[in-house]
A and B are shown apart, each in its own frame.
Chain A
Amino acid sequence: MADFLQILVTAVAVGSLYALIALGYTMVYGILKFINFAHSDVFVLGAWTGFTASTLLISRFSISGPPPLWLGPLVLVTAMVVCGLVGFTIERLAYKPLRKAPRLNVLITAIGVSLLLQNVGQLQFPIAPDLALPFGASPKRMPELLPDAALLTMSFGDNQVVIGLVDVIIVVSAITLMLALEVLVYRTRLGAAMRAVSFNTDNAALMGIPVDRVISITFVTGAMLAAAAGFLYSMKYPGLNQPAHEVWVLLGLKAFVAAVVGGIGNVRGAVLGGFLIALIEFMGQFVWARTLDQWFSTSMAPTLRDVYVFAVLIIVLLVKPTGLLGTPIREKV
């Protein structure tokens, strides 16, 4: 029981991060109808900008001991602004010139941008001791910006369920950001413009909507959400892998699967998909570990965690190709 709840806690925390990343995939797809493969690298950039900003601030203000409460939010905002700018630049330089080109060209450009970000991230220009820009090729430890406390410890027999402050903050900030996005998309004029552009770009332009500006804002919003997810992720898993590590790519892929499972192009679907994918990943691992591994005395549960995620993708694509909340698009011949 304790183990089940402990894994549930992790799954919800990680799920809210998947959801944040999935939102970026789904928003861009909704408007431009292509998959922004560079999105997962913006997520990585968010985590590493968070590392750089917090290390720099801690050494600049010579903070020792537990960092002040304002530091965490400040670093979060810094990471979001930097990644927003990067998202804007990527869209202007790489995707805008291809607005009228076939979609395949844009897709391949996205892969190129992704590789570029991965490799630039490995360059090293030392700006302070133990700190390099962009980020370097070795793993680093994210400074602890929040007191690493167990907020709630419940005992079940011998074992305990530990809910950390970090888990709660991740879920709360992720849900806050998602609600803010919900308001932006469905309650504001800008959101209406976004939805109009996603419905039909040409008609939206005829209605006097500044299409290019709306697309830019969509990219920046997606990038900022990814940056927030990256920062929160580095709070939960402070051992940061180097920017080109395959693990980052896998994380991005899972968020992409979440977007597809929820119905790509659908904002609420992405959130649903994010939580669903994390639950399936962690619960699949848990159930497998407790049943089949014990029957056959093996230990293959962790090895299979990615299999559950991609099996779900295959099932959803076969049974409901538009995703759980997606609506079918009718193409006129």
Chain B
Amino acid sequence: MLSRRWALSIVVAGLGLVAGAGGCEKKSEAPKGPAPAAKTPDSGSKAGTEAPKAGGAAADKAPPSGTGPILIGHYGSLTGSEATFGKSTSEGIRLAIKEFNAAGGLNGRMVEVKEYDTKGDAKEAKLAVERLVKSDGVVAVLGEVASGLSLAGGPVCQEAGVPMISPSSTNPRVTKIGDMIFRVCFIDPFQGFVGAKFARENLKAAKAAMLYDQKAPYSVGLAQEFKKAFEKLGGQVVAEQTYNGGDQDFTAQLTSIRGGKPDVIYVPGYYTDIGNIALQTRKLNISAPLLGGDGWDSEELGKIAGDAIKGSFYSNHYAPDQADAAVKDFIKRYQAEFNGKTPDGLAALGYDAACLLFDAMKRSKSLGGRDLRDAIAATRDFKGVTGSITIDENRDAKKGAVIVEMAGSPLGPKFRAQINP
């Protein structure tokens, strides 16, 4: 009897191990393989096959005409963990619409925005875009910020033949969904390079450690690109650790990292996790600066992490204290509209995405999906707040990046370096 019980428990333990191994195999592939990450199972694979179909669908649809208001759509995380992403973008878009309408709109037609909350969830993002293009009949869609969510919403736009402009999704796969999908920000290979270059040349770092969110395509992609660039520039990545977005405890990862004695720790996550990571890094007496990507960009970051984040850097689309007339003017108008709030990079990109769309509308033959798409694709040297935007053949924007440091009081991003492609 006893021996049978033991046999059973050993089998169970074995099964547990196998299940564990199976699970990890699957997960470890997410960062490496070209397969889409767990959250967006259908987006990547669908993309290729549906691209050619989309043109037909768009041509079939009668271009919306008439004299009523022009409806555009926005989907973003207005609530949820990354709420400031969606809110900032939304504010940027609304400011752009207000200014465009005040200047007479499109030959007298006003623009209105229909907005849905994605709650930071891929399923909600897909639903939101379906409602926008199918029920509301918008002429174009703006959004999302997080790459994982753009990958969920993008295929819907592609299938329906409605152009989509992501203000700030940096994962390269986003615009590969199809020819209807654009973005006005740089992409991860460049952002990873910017981080690596800054670490090597400005911080003189020889050894770097990485800690990234293995659930977010954004974070995984950025970490890979950073590693590639950092090693190419002669640096060495001494530790590579992952976490799951939303995790609270990073002791195991950070003790591993501290063993490698890195000069800099690359943490390309979202700001909600960065707070706890920074606090625990400093608590373990690790003094190396943290370096991140534009996912850090939120006024909440300084509040959550406090002094622990002081002296850390991240790459971003613009810096509010940049000595640039267009930036200064934008900040003034934004502050007048939203109670003196300083716009973050996402607000600036939301504004630029909307303005670029209006510019394309003016040049477009009609507001039909195909015509509008062609007009957006033909954008050259559009003067945005976040720099001069040229849409390239991959429907990505070619532009430079800035590196900011968390400094000053109240703690906020301060311009440190400008890095161009």
Contact = CB atoms under 8 A, between A and B. Distances in A.
Binding partners A and B = yes
A237 interface: yes
A302 B285 contact: no
A316 to B, nearest CB: 10
A140 B304 contact: yes
A302 B9 contact: no
A6 B79 CA distance: 36
A77 interface: no
Interface string A150-171: 1001000011101010000000
B249 interface: yes
Interface stretch (A105-113, A239-247, A323-331): A239-247
A300 B81 contact: no
Interface of A: 2-3, 6-7, 10, 14, 122, 137-141, 148, 150, 153, 158-160, 162, 164, 237-239, 241-242, 245-247, 282, 285-286, 289, 298-305, 307-308, 311, 314-315, 318-319
Contacts of A3: 255-256, 259
A148 B278 CA distance: 14
Interface in B193-251: 214, 240-244, 246-249, 251
A10 B251 contact: yes
Contacts of B275: 139, 141, 238-239
Contacts of A158: 261
Nearest to A282: B252
Interface of B: 5, 8-9, 12-13, 16, 19-20, 23-24, 27-28, 79-81, 83-84, 214, 240-244, 246-249, 251-253, 255-256, 258-259, 261, 272-273, 275-276, 279, 283-285, 300, 303-306
Contact of B252 (A7, A137, A246, A298): A7
A308 B24 CA distance: 12
A172 to B, nearest CB: 19
6 contacts: A3-B259, A138-B79, A139-B272, A247-B248, A303-B28, A311-B16
B249 A237 contact: yes
Nearest to B16: A311
By CB atoms of chain A within 10 A, which of B84, B252, B284 has the most? B252
A318 B81 contact: no
A244 to B, nearest CB: 8
Contacts of B12: 314-315, 318-319
B285 A160 contact: yes
Given A242-B80, A315-B9, A302 B23 contact: no
Main secondary structure of the interface of B (DSSP, over half): helix
A304 B20 contact: yes
A118 to B, nearest CB: 12
A241 B284 contact: no
A282 B251 contact: yes
B35 to A, nearest CB: 16
By CB atoms of chain B within 10 A, which of A153, A247, A300 has the most? A300
B24 A162 contact: no
Contacts of B240: 299
B279 A238 contact: yes
A303 B256 contact: no
A318 B4 CA distance: 13
A37 B249 CA distance: 24
Contacts of B20: 304, 307-308, 311
By CB atoms of chain A within 10 A, which of B241, B249, B276 has the most? B249
Given A6-B255, A300-B24, 16 more contacts: A7-B252, A10-B249, A137-B79, A138-B83, A239-B305, A241-B81, A247-B247, A247-B248, A282-B251, A285-B252, A289-B253, A303-B214, A304-B20, A307-B16, A315-B9, A318-B9
Contact of A315 (B13, B242, B244, B246): B13
B221 to A, nearest CB: 16
Contacts of B84: 138
A298 B241 CA distance: 9
Q: Top 4 closest A-B pairs, CB basis?
A: A137-B79, A239-B275, A311-B16, A3-B255
Given A6-B255, A7-B252, A314-B16, A241 B272 contact: yes
Given A238-B279, A242-B80, A307-B23, A302 B252 contact: yes
Contacts of B261: 158
A282 B248 CA distance: 13
A134 to B, nearest CB: 13
A301 B243 CA distance: 9
A315 B28 CA distance: 25
A159 B258 contact: yes
Contacts of B81: 138-139, 241-242, 245
A141 B305 CA distance: 8
Contacts of B272: 139, 239, 241
A250 B240 CA distance: 25
Nearest to B240: A299
A183 to B, nearest CB: 31
A95 B23 CA distance: 38
Nearest to A301: B252
